[in-house]
Homo-oligomer: A and B are copies of this chain.
């Protein structure tokens, strides 16, 4: 049964707190297995990658070639439906246009003492993009991960996608090509992450790895962190829909199901001040489930992790939203803008009644790679900033060194770092 909570109930706080920490994924103990895979790929290179690919993907990359050839990409374009291609191109353009606004500015200035400070942003030289195989192999996610890297100026965007039993979604190749991915490898799992982190004969090492994956991929990313950069560890997706009673229950039910159909571990939450409306939405969910192709997945997600939170007033909404820190937040109310100013923790916010979250998944232009599992408390969706880094710049002349030097010498002394002090004082003839 979908959970129903009401802020008017005496036990609300206890039930809401318990709801917040509900685990939606069984955490598999894969660390040791992953450690072995990484070690073998580090020491044996391509041979180890090929062996693991035979074992896990039942596919012989030694024979087929690890790298996807240009001809296969061309064939994928040929196969693609015209409407889909057009939509992918529109999505790419819109993502690019929006992400161009994220390119950070360099800075250089003199402070009142004449000290020059500043920074310079440069792209990460090489990035590895992981794309899951099978069901969750989404061309839209390829665009969302690769376009910001290309906009950032990353020279080499390599992609790894496993091909279980040799199968590969051709639209993934098309999306990669449209986005500007420079090389595509038919490999997956911890072995692909290890190849990206340490390099093999065929796969040159990258500097950062991004993209979602299963428990093995997530564990591998965690283990190679430091050797290379990684993005966030993605969990199952979630949406919180805040809706007043003036919404069409069918629309809101469709939004809840759009999240639920992703995964049985996905989570859809409705928050409203109108109990009758909540009932109408629940009834609409049940109705729509009957004709949905992924109804089994969506029904399980809604039953096990779905929730309806009744509030006494929309005044209660911002505090509750911040505690949930949802990946996706729909504010389907006239009060959307006002609420937004009082909310701090959410990955992406969709304002008003005509902004279903699915628009953001595909063609809004903003990124759909967003912090899950309450991590919007401390992290942001993927952006150009994830593909650049900043060199800090400092310049003093003799005059500024004379002004600031004595304080540096005093602090070096207080910290017992004599050579630090000397490197300053020797220039001051102290």
Instruction: Give every chain B residue within 8 A of A283 (Cβ-Cβ).
Output: none
CA distance A360 to B392 in the complex (A): 10
The reply to whether A412 and B367 contact each other, CB–CB distance below 8 Å, is: no
Q: Bin the interface of chain A by size.
A: 35 or more
The reply to whether the CB of A300 lies closer than 8 angstroms to some CB of chain B is no
> Which of B257, B378, B421 meets A389, CB within 8 Å?
B378
Q: Give 12 A-B pairs besides A226-B373, A228-B378 with Cβ atoms closer than 8 angstroms.
A: A87-B408, A124-B378, A140-B415, A229-B379, A254-B419, A257-B422, A292-B419, A294-B418, A356-B424, A361-B412, A362-B411, A381-B392
Instruction: Give every chain B residue within 8 A of A109 (Cβ-Cβ).
Output: 101
Residues of chain A in range 325-384 having any CB-CB distance to chain B below 8 Å: 336, 340, 343-352, 354-367, 370-371, 373, 375-381, 383
The reply to whether the CB of A116 lies closer than 8 angstroms to some CB of chain B is yes
> Which of B117, B255, B376 meets A365, CB within 8 Å?
B117
A-B contact pairs, 21 of them (CB 8 A): A86-B407, A87-B407, A91-B407, A101-B109, A111-B365, A122-B344, A226-B232, A226-B233, A226-B373, A229-B378, A251-B423, A257-B423, A358-B417, A358-B421, A358-B423, A359-B405, A359-B408, A361-B411, A361-B420, A362-B407, A376-B391
The reply to whether A417 and B84 contact each other, CB–CB distance below 8 Å, is: no
A401 closest partner in B (C-beta): B354
The reply to whether the CB of A125 lies closer than 8 angstroms to some CB of chain B is yes
> Which of B232, B262, B364, B413 meets A404, CB within 8 Å?
B364
Closest 5 CB pairs of A and B: A229-B378, A348-B392, A87-B407, A351-B395, A254-B423
The reply to whether the CB of A120 lies closer than 8 angstroms to some CB of chain B is yes
Closest chain-B Cβ to A97's Cβ sits at a distance in Å of 7
Residues of A within 8 A of B (CB): 31, 81, 83-84, 86-88, 90-91, 94, 97-98, 101, 107, 109, 111, 115-117, 120, 122-125, 135, 138-140, 171, 207-208, 222, 225-226, 228-229, 232-233, 235, 248, 250-251, 254-255, 257-258, 260-262, 288, 292-294, 298, 322, 336, 340, 343-352, 354-367, 370-371, 373, 375-381, 383, 385, 389-398, 400-401, 404-408, 410-424, 426-427
The reply to whether B261 and A419 contact each other, CB–CB distance below 8 Å, is: yes
A124 and B377 in contact (CB under 8 A), knowing A87-B411, A411-B87, A422-B258? yes
The reply to whether B379 and A294 contact each other, CB–CB distance below 8 Å, is: no
A361 and B408 in contact (CB under 8 A), knowing A340-B120, A349-B391? yes
The reply to whether A125 and B298 contact each other, CB–CB distance below 8 Å, is: no
A392 and B367 in contact (CB under 8 A), knowing A411-B91, A414-B139, A419-B260? yes
